[in-house]
Chains A and B, each alone.
Chain A
Amino acid sequence: MSKENHVLSSNGVIRADELRVWFPVRRSFIDALRGKPQLYVHAVDGVSFEVHEAEIFCLVGESGCGKTTTGRALLRLVERDNIYGGHVYFRPSKEAFEEVSRLAPRAVVEEGVVDLYKVPDKAMKPLRRELQIVFQDPFGSLNPRMKIGDILEEPLIIHGIGSTPEERAEIIARALETVKLTPPEEFVDRYPHQLSGGQRQRVVIARALLLNPRFLVADEPVSMLDVSIRAEILEILFELKEKHGLAQLFITHDLALARHVCDRIAVMYLGRIVEMGPTDTVIAKPLHPYTRALMAAVPEPDPRNRLRIRNVPIKGEVTSAVFLPKGCRFRPRCVAYDQTPAIRDKCDNEEPPLVEAEPGHYVACWLHAARARQTG
């Protein structure tokens, strides 16, 4: 990572830096009196990565690994109280940066970059425009009582884009055309439940695009859609990257999908990134035992191999995110731990750091840490 003394590389749009998001577990009154320690769900526990312009960055992992929380944290949708460390650096557009530096000069980290969690709520509005999200559930993320036109007009009204209804209609029409909902006038006076799942997801994307964002989180945007329309939605996301240079964080549990969509990929396990690198490299040569297990679980495209019982190299169930094991948190499920007695001591006692095993390819495993240290 060539960042020198800048927090964000020159083409970086957003960066999580040792980000920790913990949710307190409610403890009883008596327990609090007895001074029992407060417990936390370590949803995100020290995650660092950067998303560049015109890049789709994938976050892959099982459900509950903290990938969605990471996405929401990047958009500052997580309560500030739950951030237990780290930073989110964001490079807004020039105008937005000027506005924020005027409203909240303390949030400015360096020229053009702000620390999102240092921006007070009141000054967030110009940044909200540039940080958008597409949710997994296209029905739930549209208010069932509002018509599509009203849903799309809302962000415009909030941010004062288009001063007249005519202007706003123009913008909405364009956005709907961008997501290929044509003719647009067919859709504005419908309710969400009158649209198909794919159409709804396109409305969600259109809503995000209206504000002309610089960074988009796509949280499992196609997992609830029929396979037949997934490609169209992905097509739109690709286009956004290619034509508009939009930086995107693509969250998915589906490694096969990630392989098609992403430029770079990060694999998360229990709130930490265990492996990160260019998609092709990671897929072709997974280093972390967990990534390998995920790879093995991907359905076999070759029909001849379908009936073969495959051996997925993993054991047990996901560990609790409240009571994390000492040392490596993947250790209880790790096959390599069983097979490699030499590193067990390290695994038991120390959390493996994320090290650059080969150029651009990072991994957090004691199997590779030693090698990385030798080279690095």
Chain B
Amino acid sequence: MVGRTASILARRALFLTIALVLIMILTAVIIGASGYDVQVLRAIIGSELQAYRQSLQRQNIPAIEIQKLVEQRKQELIRLYGLNKPWEERVLPMAWRALKLDLGYVRSQAVANVVGQQLPLTVKDAILTVLPRTLVMLTVAELICAAIALKLAPLIAYKRGSLLDKAVIAYAAFTNALPLWWLAIIALFVFGYELHIAPTNYHIIIKYINEFTSNPLAAIKGIIEVSWLPVTVIVIGILGGWLYGIRAIAIRVVNEDYVYVAKAKGVPEDLVVKRYILRVILGPVLTIVILALAGSIGGIIITESVFNWPGMGSLYYAAIVSGDAPTLLGLVYITTLVYILARFLLEVIYILVDPRVRY
């Protein structure tokens, strides 16, 4: 049986690796085949040449000479960025290097601006710098929701059909329908601009996070001051989904015979919920929590954009809009890798813990 379990896990690992490679190739193909990176690279080369020409002019070099030097520099740059090669030779090796964790250098100033540092900058550093900012916003919000949902949802399921249950469903329906970023816009305008009790500039989060090692207490205070509004908005926006999801899992258990038996035996309600419902559904709930946390490191592009929050979502966005292929591939790789690792981890836990899971 051990061999069989190992074989299942080996197969999953193999497949997930293949999936990861496929996703990287897909991203690279979208960037390359659409000619999008060429466009961006041309613009980069154009502006670099412009700057070069100006610097030459300042040195009073004759015009003909400048023309020659610029042309020479242009050819160098074209070779440097691989514009002389077809896209598959330019982008696919980049994806391949990313798979080997050689993520390369950030190309665009827009990405560096999100990071809050100057070029040159490695993609790895960029991601590592930005990641904590998303953790203190989105991941914290997901954790809060998970805690609330774990506490409330089994009870709601237990009291299925009650007023509370109906209210939760309606709440979930509404928040599922209202875009989170719209709530963010309204909250920002009301609490930030009108009432002035929340910041309107969220870039200062960079400062607080940088200060974290030197002055943790002040940094934490600062982080809370900056992030309370985004975190609250996100919690309000996604809590409904959390409650509904875990309630749905719990409801399958609520009607089981042993719950009825417990009820009939006169076990107090909160004990029934805790011991007979929560404990049973812990497995699937754990899955949801871990996958949500793993997914959260990718940031939420739109809401981060509304708050102008310099997190992973904004990094993604900057990389996409400025056509920064190395950063984009690096981000896709890291976020997908974390997600896939989480899924694999869950499968290991499942197989080890639950003897019935065999496939």
In the complex, what's the smallest C-beta–C-beta distance from A297 to chain B, in angstroms?
35
From DSSP, what is the main secondary structure of chain A's interface residues?
A: helix
Give the bracket for the number of chain B residues in contact with chain A.
under 10
A1-48: which residues lie under 8 A (CB-CB) from chain B?
28-31
16 contacts between A and B (CB under 8 A): A28-B3, A28-B4, A28-B7, A28-B8, A29-B7, A29-B8, A29-B10, A29-B11, A30-B3, A30-B4, A30-B6, A30-B7, A30-B10, A31-B3, A31-B4, A31-B7
**Cβ of A31: which chain B residues have Cβ within 8 Å of it?**
3-4, 7
The 7 closest A-B pairs by CB, nearest first: A30-B7, A28-B7, A29-B11, A28-B4, A29-B7, A30-B3, A30-B10
**Cβ of B11: which chain A residues have Cβ within 8 Å of it?**
29
Residues of A within 8 A of B (CB): 28-31
B289-332: CB near A (< 8 Å → 1, else 0) gives 00000000000000000000000000000000000000000000
Known: A29-B8, A30-B3. 6 other contacts (CB 8 A): A28-B7, A29-B7, A30-B4, A30-B10, A31-B4, A31-B7
**Cβ of B10: which chain A residues have Cβ within 8 Å of it?**
29-30
In the bound complex, what is the Cα–Cα distance between A30 and B8 (angstroms)?
Answer: 8
In the complex, what's the smallest C-beta–C-beta distance from A39 to chain B, in angstroms?
13
Residues of B within 8 A of A (CB): 3-4, 6-8, 10-11
With both beta carbons as reference points, the residue of chain A lying nearest to B6 in the complex is identified as A30
In the complex, what's the smallest C-beta–C-beta distance from A30 to chain B, in angstroms?
4
With both beta carbons as reference points, the residue of chain A lying nearest to B359 in the complex is identified as A26
In the bound complex, what is the Cα–Cα distance between A28 and B11 (angstroms)?
Answer: 9
In the bound complex, what is the Cα–Cα distance between A203 and B117 (angstroms)?
Answer: 79
**Cβ of B4: which chain A residues have Cβ within 8 Å of it?**
28, 30-31
**Cβ of B3: which chain A residues have Cβ within 8 Å of it?**
28, 30-31
In the bound complex, what is the Cα–Cα distance between A142 and B11 (angstroms)?
Answer: 40
In the bound complex, what is the Cα–Cα distance between A28 and B7 (angstroms)?
Answer: 7
In the complex, what's the smallest C-beta–C-beta distance from A107 to chain B, in angstroms?
39
With both beta carbons as reference points, the residue of chain A lying nearest to B5 in the complex is identified as A28
In the complex, what's the smallest C-beta–C-beta distance from A322 to chain B, in angstroms?
16
Scoring B6, B7, B8 by chain A CB atoms within 10 A of each residue's CB, the highest score goes to: B7
**Cβ of A28: which chain B residues have Cβ within 8 Å of it?**
3-4, 7-8
In the bound complex, what is the Cα–Cα distance between A187 and B10 (angstroms)?
Answer: 57
With both beta carbons as reference points, the residue of chain B lying nearest to A33 in the complex is identified as B7
In the bound complex, what is the Cα–Cα distance between A28 and B3 (angstroms)?
Answer: 9
With both beta carbons as reference points, the residue of chain B lying nearest to A30 in the complex is identified as B7
In the bound complex, what is the Cα–Cα distance between A313 and B112 (angstroms)?
Answer: 87
In the bound complex, what is the Cα–Cα distance between A31 and B8 (angstroms)?
Answer: 11
In the complex, what's the smallest C-beta–C-beta distance from B146 to chain A, in angstroms?
35
In the bound complex, what is the Cα–Cα distance between A28 and B4 (angstroms)?
Answer: 6
In the bound complex, what is the Cα–Cα distance between A31 and B6 (angstroms)?
Answer: 11
In the bound complex, what is the Cα–Cα distance between A29 and B12 (angstroms)?
Answer: 11
**Cβ of A30: which chain B residues have Cβ within 8 Å of it?**
3-4, 6-7, 10
